[in-house]
Amino acid sequence: MDDQLMTERRVDAHEIKITARGVQVYYGEKHALKDVDVDILANTVTAFIGPSGCGKSTFLRCLNRMNDTVAIARVEGDIRIDGEDIYDSRVDPVQLRAKVGMVFQKPNPFPKSIYDNVAYGPKIHGLARTKADLDRIVEESLRKAALWNEVKDRLKESGTGLSGGQQQRLCIARAVATGPEILLMDEPCSALDPIATAQVEELIDELREKFSVVIVTHSMQQAARVSQRTAFFHLGNLVEYGNTSKIFTNPDDPRTESYITGRIG
Amino acid sequence: MPNSEHIVSGFDRDLEGIQAQIMRMGGLVEEAIARATEALETRDGEQARAVRDADRAIDALEEQVNDEAARIIAQRQPIAGDLRTVLTVFRVSTNLERIGDYAKNIAKRTETIIESPPVNGSAASLRRMARQVELMLKDVLDAYIQRDVALAADVRARDRDVDQMYSAIFREYLTFMMEDPRNITTCMHLHFMAKNIERMGDHVTSIAEQVIYLVTGDMPDDDRPKQDATALSVGPRT
Domains of chain A: 16-107+180-260 (3.40.50.300)
Backbone dihedral region for residue A157 (phi beyond 0: left; psi -120 to 50: alpha; all else: beta): beta
Pure H helices in B77-183:
80-113, 122-146, 149-179
pLDDT digits (tens, 9 = 90+) for A32-79: 999 999 999 999 999 999 999 899 999 999 999 998 888 899 999 999
Whose CA is closest to A64, among A87, A41, A96?
A: A96
Given B79, B217, B218, which is nearest A261 (Cβ)? B79
Mean pLDDT in chain A? Answer: 90
pLDDT band at A14; cut points 50, 70, 90: low
Q: Which of A169-173, A205-209, B1-5, B161-165 has the lowest mean pLDDT?
A: B1-5
pLDDT at A96: 93
pTM here is 0.80
Residue A169: CB atoms within 10 A of its CB come to: 28
What is the strand order of the sheet A73-81 is part of?
Answer: A30-41, A16-27, A73-81, A84-85
Q: Is the ipTM of this complex over 0.85?
A: no
A135: pLDDT strictly greater than 70:
yes
Q: What is the pLDDT of residues B89-126, one digit of tens each?
A: 999 999 999 999 999 999 999 999 999 888 877 788 89
Mean predicted confidence (pLDDT) in B121-148 = 93
Angstrom CA distances, A43 to A11, A61, A86, A210, A211, stand at: 7, 20, 20, 6, 5
Contact at CB, B6 and A262, closer than 8 angstroms = yes
* B82 reaches A (C-beta below 8 A): yes
Q: Give the amino acid at B173.
A: Y
**Interchain proximity B83–A249, CB inside 8 Å:** yes
Interface test with A, best of B3, B15, B87, B212 (most A CBs within 10 A): B3
Share of chain B above pLDDT 70, in %: 92
CB < 8 Å to B80, chain A: 248-251, 256-257, 260-261
Residues 6+ apart with CB under 8 A from A224: A230, A244, A248, B79
